[in-house]
């Protein structure tokens, strides 16, 4: 059974209550802040089974962090440019749209920079942000998550060709998530993770996954390990709750459950790839104003 977009009457905090049928109502929250779940065996006494490790150099050279108004906001990927734009004097990065907006006001941060490989001394200013439909303060959290993706043109050209975007084709693939690791203060890889499917919730624009992610990993690339291509952008954590509220610390070391607690990202599809082509070919026309 799938969740529909029909809401119950009440809205509570960051949660949206969605109707399954006349008798059942679940509380659905998309956490699209720089926070994610680190999964384990569900036994808090064992500690948190954080399996993230320093990202391999080959991947790290195409990933960095985003700093806005003096604080780290998320992760971003240097993407390979379409052939029509190879001569451009700029480079394009891809991230989750929510990382460049103030959560409390929904207003863009005043000053944002990209730090290749997370290096503090290598900051590069933003030039343009691609046109998008992300609404920072929308109450429709499903719609918000499906639009949580944005391209950004940088002031300087980056080294290397960047990672290739690829529409996800196969189900049940192994995955890798590259993202900032607050505990280790580096850009880490979470591998040995996979795609999940939910009987209660389904949206073909979103990828449900159990790759470990913490604060600052939002916007990080989800890779197909076989091809090395970016197939999704990590957005946050999907929490489906019924009845009593559960503390957020269940997100650390919990067992992944697509019917209750799972990480999510925005899939790369033909629309996203076409958006990149338009942005690189006509940046002034296809930019956010």
- Kindly indicate the confidence band of residue 261, based on its pLDDT and cuts at 50, 70 and 90: confident
* Average pLDDT in the chain: 80
Minimum mean pLDDT range among 25-39, 67-81, 164-178, 185-199: 25-39
Domains of the chain: 27-52+165-267 (2.40.10.10), 60-163+270-281 (2.40.10.10)
Say which residue, 24 or 233, is predicted with more confidence: 233
Eight-state DSSP code of residue 46? G
Rounded CA-CA distance 253/50 in Å is 8
More confident site: 11 or 110: 110
The pLDDT confidence band at residue 216, using thresholds 50, 70 and 90, is very high
CA distance 104 to 256: 29
Give the whole-number percent of the chain exceeding pLDDT 90: 47
List of residues 6+ apart from 280 with CB closer than 8 A: 81, 82, 84, 85, 88, 92
Range 107-113, long-range pairs (CB < 8 A, 24+ positions): 107/136, 109/68, 109/69, 109/73, 110/68, 110/69, 111/68, 111/69, 112/66, 112/67, 112/68, 112/69, 112/73, 113/66, 113/67, 113/68
Comparing 240 with 78, the larger pLDDT belongs to 78
Percent of the chain as helix, strand, coil, to the nearest 5: 15, 40, 50
pLDDT at 31: 40
CA distance readout (Å), 133 to 91, 130, 262, 271 = 22, 10, 24, 13
Lowest mean pLDDT among 1-15, 170-184, 252-266: 1-15
In Å, how far from its chain's centre is CA 205? 12
Task: From residue 217, give the alpha-carbon distance in Å to each of 54, 139, 245.
Answer: 13, 23, 25
Structure confidence by residue, pLDDT tens digits, 152-163: 999 999 998 899
Q: For residues 195 and 175, what is the distance between their CA atoms, to the nearest angstrom?
A: 7
- H or E element: which one contains 209? strand 206-209
* Residues in a beta bridge with 148: none
What span, in angstroms and rounded, lies between the C-alpha atoms of 227 and 224?
Answer: 6
Residue 267 has pLDDT above 90, yes or no: yes
Dump pLDDT digits (tens) for 21-74.
333 333 344 443 336 777 776 666 665 667 788 899 999 999 999 999 999 999
Residue 112 pLDDT greater than 50, yes or no: yes
Q: What is the mean pLDDT of residues 187-195?
A: 91
In the chain, the N- to C-terminal Cα span, in Å, equals 40
């Amino acid at each position: 059974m799938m969740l529909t977009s029909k809401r119950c009457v009440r809205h509570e905090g960051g949660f949206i209550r969605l109707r399954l049928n006349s008798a059942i109502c679940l509380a659905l929250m998309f956490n699209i802040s720089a926070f994610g779940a680190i999964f384990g065996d569900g036994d808090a006494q064992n500690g948190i089974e954080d399996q993230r490790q320093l990202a391999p150099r080959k991947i790290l050279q195409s990933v960095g962090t985003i700093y806005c108004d003096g604080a780290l906001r998320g992760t971003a990927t240097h993407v390979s440019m379409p052939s029509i734009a190879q001569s451009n004097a700029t480079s394009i990065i891809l991230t989750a749209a929510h990382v460049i907006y103030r959560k409390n006001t929904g207003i863009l941060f005043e000053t944002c920079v990209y730090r290749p490989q997370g290096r503090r001394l290598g900051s590069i200013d933003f030039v343009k942000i691609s046109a998008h439909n992300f609404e920072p303060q929308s109450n429709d959290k499903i719609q918000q998550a499906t639009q949580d993706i944005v391209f950004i043109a940088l002031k300087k050209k980056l080294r290397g060709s960047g990672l290739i975007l690829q529409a996800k084709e196969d189900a049940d693939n192994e995955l890798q998530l590259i993202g900032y690791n607050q505990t280790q203060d580096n850009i880490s890889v979470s591998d040995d993770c996979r795609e999940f499917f939910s009987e209660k919730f389904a949206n073909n624009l979103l990828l449900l996954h159990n790759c470990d992610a913490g604060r600052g990993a939002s916007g990080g690339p989800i890779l197909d390990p076989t091809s090395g291509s970016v197939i999704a952008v990590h957005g946050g954590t999907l929490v489906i709750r019924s009845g009593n509220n559960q503390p957020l610390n269940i997100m650390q070391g919990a067992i992944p459950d697509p019917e209750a607690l799972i990480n999510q990202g925005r899939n790369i599809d033909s629309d996203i790839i076409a958006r990149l082509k338009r942005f690189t070919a006509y940046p002034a026309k296809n930019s956010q104003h």
